[in-house]
Amino acid sequence: MARDCPLLPRVPQQQTQSQPRVQQQQQQQQQAPVQQCQQAGGSDSLGELSSRESVELAVELSTGDFVLASYCLEEVPLQLQDQWLSARLFALQLQDYDVILGMDWLERYGAVMDYQKKRVHLQIPGEATFYFQGIFLL
């Protein structure tokens, strides 16, 4: 599991005081959706509150700053075009992104990136390969 990796930076104990503030903001902003969630595969919701796992994980951003991940959600359904996939998501306070899909997620779906065509090919186990394509800028 990601939190067990000895190479990941950890937040010192005195810095974990900000953890409740992160959780409180998440609960205030998304209180109704989070409490009404269902497990992946049952509907197109976010995942059950019972599938929430408490973590203390520091994530280093490209700026060199660290952000504390206070919890993660298991098997959250994601829709890419007409395909449904799932991901393990860590809650971070980021302003510019809704979700960042990491290397473990890309590996799980056998991602092959075609940089010239700006496509990502994905393989859902037991289904045909599909791709999604970025926007070409002129």
Give 69-100 pLDDT, tens digit per residue: 878 888 999 888 888 999 988 888 888 878 88
What percentage of the chain reaches a pLDDT higher than 70?
Answer: 59
pTM, 2 dp: 0.53
Average the pLDDT over 44-53 and give the result: 48
- In terms of pLDDT, which residue wins out, 49 or 112? 112
Show contacts of 19-23: CB within 8 Å, 24+ apart.
19/56, 19/68, 19/70, 22/68, 22/70, 22/91, 22/93, 23/70, 23/71
Closest CA to 99 of 116, 76, 121, 120: 76
Model pLDDT, residue 111: 94
Question: For residue range 20-31, what is the model confidence (pLDDT) as tens digits?
Answer: 333 333 333 333
Domain ranges of the chain: 2-100, 109-138
